[in-house]
Structure formats: C-alpha cells, structure tokens
Amino acid sequence: MSTVIKTFKKTELNTDFEVRSQNSMCVNRSELDKPLLSNLKFTFAGILFGIILVKSEVISWFRIQEMFRLQSFHMYGVIGSAIVVGIISIFIIKRFKIRSIDGEPIHFEPKKFNKGQIYGGLLFGFGWALTGACPGPLFAQIGTGATVIIVTLFSAIIGTWVYGFLREKLPH
Amino acid sequence: MNFIEWIKQPWPWYVAGPLIGLTVPVLFILGNKSFGVSSSLRHICAACAPMNISFFKYDWKKEVWNLFFAGGILLGGMISAFFLSNPDPVLIDTRLATELAGYGVTNTEGLVPKDLFNWESLLSVKGLILMVGGGFLVGFGTRYAGGCTSGHAIMGISNLQLPSLIATCCFMIGGFFFANIILPLILKL
C-alpha cells in the first residue's frame, strides 16, 4: 500500500513539474518546503519594486505613450539600464557560483523558442499601448488609488484564463 | 533639501533602471526565484478557476511567492501615493499633450489619465476597449508569449536568452503599431 502511495506521489510530482515547465516563466526550481510566511520577504521586495515603479513614473500611461512615439528617452533608459545591471548581476552570480540565502545553488532556466513569443508578444504590445501598463504596473496603479484598474487587472486574469483554455488550439 | 523632499521628486532613469535591474539578483538570492510578474495571473487562475484545464492544473501553492511579490507591488504603490507622492504636476512631452488635447484628454495629472480611465467611462465603448479590451490583451498576450516586460525584457535578456529578445521586439512592434495607428482611432470615439 505504501509503495502504491509513494509511486502515486512521485508521478503526481513529475507531471506537475512537466506542466510547470511548459512555460518557462513558471518554473520555480527551489525544492525547499518553506513555511507560507517565509514568503513575506518577497512582499518586502515587491514593496520596494512597486515604489521604484511609481517614483520613476514607469507606471504612467503618458510615459508609455511617449515611449511608443519616440518622444522621450526615459523608458528606454530605465529598461536598458535595468538590463545592463541584470546582465552584470547574473554574470557575477554564475562566475562566483553565488548561492541563495538558503544555500541552494541558483538555477537559471533557459527559454525555449516558440511562435507564441511572436504572436503573444504582438498581442501584449497592443494591450501595453492601450492600458499603458504591463502586469507589474497594473498592481502598482491600483495601489496608487486608480481603483478602476481593478477592472483591467480582472480582465487580464480572464485573458490569461482564456489563453489556458485555447492553448491546445493556438499555434506555438 | 531633506531626504523626504528629495525622494519625492520623480526618479531619473539612471536611478530607477539599475534598481529595477537589481530586483533580478535580489529574487535569486532571497529564494532562487526568476523575476517575473505575469505568472501571478496564471497562479490566480490556477487557484480560483482551474476548470480541469491542463495549463492550470499544477500546484500553484509552490509558486505562491509570486503572489506575495505582486501583493507587495500593490502595497508599494499605496506607500508611494500616501507618503512619497510628487507635489508637482507630471511633465509630459508637449507633442503628446497637444495630440491628447485633440481627443479631449486634457487632464494630465497623475499617472493614469483620469479622462480615460474612470468608473463612469467604463460603460462607454472607448472605456471598454481601453480598460477591458486592453487588460484582456495584456493577460492573453503575456501568457501566450510566456512572460512580460519583467520576465522577458529584463529577466530573459539579462540571462542572454534569444527567445526573450524576440518576444521583447514583438512587444515593441505591437506597441508602436497600436499606439500610433490604432489608439488615435479609439481615442476619437
């Protein structure tokens, strides 16, 4: 009986990982079982990230329109310098084999190409131009008191759900 | 000028960009997590309405850190609005201001244009397209692409992933096309 349960558990875990890895954005390789409240450190990181998004006006609909009209360097400067710092950070982490605070080796997930990055990328671009926000800024905009953006966020959740529903039928 | 006054000003790109870039190693070091926000929308679907769809049948509780992070972004927005908000009006490019005025969008205060995004206009065609349609495209498109600005443009390119560069180029092409060709038509409604 116990063997049966063990095998069952094992298969369940494996399929779960397979489903998760279908989407490279959604793989969390940390195998540690941490208590729920240990996640509060990510809330703290989110608070800092949210403050940066608001104070740099990255969540401004106007800044996004300026970016897509080539009327301001601001957004290009923000995204470009973020990438430069990201590249250097990842290089340092790999070079010195820096571990997480739990002592785990840091794992980088390579992304596989599929056509979804083109079709989905274009569709997201359309939505970005309309709402002036990507998913992170949607949360931050609601926080600043733009309560109607709750509707936009809800619609984004519906959009995600519809993608999941149609996934098998869409070209990838 | 004291610290609070100084921090209340809009932050220039060379301060904000590197800080956003540092989010990448911070999340790795805090718990081996890949920076990305749009996955949180998938986890919400998996938690609330998996409906037997294989894409949502996974143990979302293992990814709950992402929801804590997204909740933090919301709190960060609140803190900025209550304690750190800039008393001066947001400066926008005069060409954009003129163009928007032509569509009757004259209130450029704040970060979200109140003339376009408000509860009253939610039931108008324009409001529905911008808020409901735009939101849908953000959710559908990011998941189809496998990530958003944070997951692909910042995290993916930082890890020198070609698919992320392709995705980011498509975000920009889509945005340029819609902002310049389609959005003016919608704003005229």
> How many helical (H) and strand (E) elements, i.e. helices and strands, does chain A have?
7, 0
Q: CA-CA distance, B172 to A118, in Å (whole number)?
A: 11
A135/B129 CB distance under 8 A: no
- Nearest Cα residue to B36 out of A108, A150, A68: A108
Tokens 């301001």: give the residue. A72
Q: CA-CA distance, B39 to A105, in Å (whole number)?
A: 23
Reply yes or no on whether the pLDDT at A144 is more than 80. yes
Q: Which residues of A touch B133 (CB under 8 A)?
A: 127, 130, 155
Reply yes or no on whether the pLDDT at A8 is more than 70. no
A113/B72 CB distance under 8 A: no
Reply yes or no on whether the pLDDT at A14 is more than 60. no
B5, B8, B13: best to mutate for the A interface, most A CBs within 10 A: B13
Reply yes or no on whether the pLDDT at A11 is more than 90. no
Asked if residue B179 lies in contact with residue A111, where contact means CB atoms within 8 angstroms, the answer is no
Torsion B181-B182-B183-B189 (CA) sign: positive
| Minimal CA separation from B169 to chain A, in Å | 8
For chain A, percent of residues with pLDDT exceeding 90: 74
Residue A28, pLDDT score: 52
Reply yes or no on whether the pLDDT at A17 is more than 60. no
ipTM of the complex: 0.96
A76, A144, A162, A167: best to mutate for the B interface, most B CBs within 10 A: A144
Q: At A21, phi and psi to the nearest 5?
A: -80, -10
Tokens at A155, concatenated: 């619609």
| Minimal CA separation from B103 to chain A, in Å | 14
Residue A36, pLDDT score: 85
Residue A35, pLDDT score: 84
For chain B, residues with pLDDT lower than 70 are 1
Could you report the per-residue pLDDT of A44-83, keeping only the tens digit for each?
999 999 999 999 999 999 999 999 999 999 999 999 999 9
Task: Please give, one letter per residue, the 3-state secondary structure of B50-94.
Answer: CCCCHHHCCCHHHHHHHHHHHHHHHHHHHHHHHHCCCCCCCCCCH
Q: CA-CA distance, A47 to A41, in Å (whole number)?
A: 10
Chain B interface includes A7 (CB < 8 A): no
Q: Which residues of A touch B144 (CB under 8 A)?
A: 116, 119-120, 123-124, 163, 170
Tokens 């605070």: give the residue. A101
Residue A98, pLDDT score: 94
A121/B96 CB distance under 8 A: no
Q: Whole-model pTM? A: 0.90
Assign A165 to helix, strand or coil. Answer: helix
**Per-position DSSP letters for A26-51, written without gaps between them:** G---------GGGGHHHHHHHHHHHH
Asked if residue B73 lies in contact with residue A141, where contact means CB atoms within 8 angstroms, the answer is no
Tokens at B20, concatenated: 């956003």
CB pairs under 8 A between A and B: 537
Chain B interface includes A94 (CB < 8 A): no
B175/A67 CB distance under 8 A: yes
- Nearest Cα residue to B183 out of A144, A137, A112, A69: A69
Could you report the per-residue pLDDT of A90-131, keeping only the tens digit for each?
999 999 999 999 999 998 988 999 999 999 999 999 999 999
B151/A56 CB distance under 8 A: no
Residue B1, pLDDT score: 66
Q: CA-CA distance, A21 to A37, in Å (whole number)?
A: 25
Q: Is B72 exposed, middle or buried (0-12, 13-18, 19+ CB in 10 A)?
A: buried
Q: Which residue of B has its CA nearest to A123?
A: B141
B37/A134 CB distance under 8 A: yes
Top-confidence residue, A132 or A32: A132
Find the mean pLDDT for residues A24-48: 77
Q: Which own/partner pairs from A10-17 qualify as long-range (CB within 8 Å, at least 24 positions apart)?
A: A16/B58, A16/B59
Residue A7, pLDDT score: 42
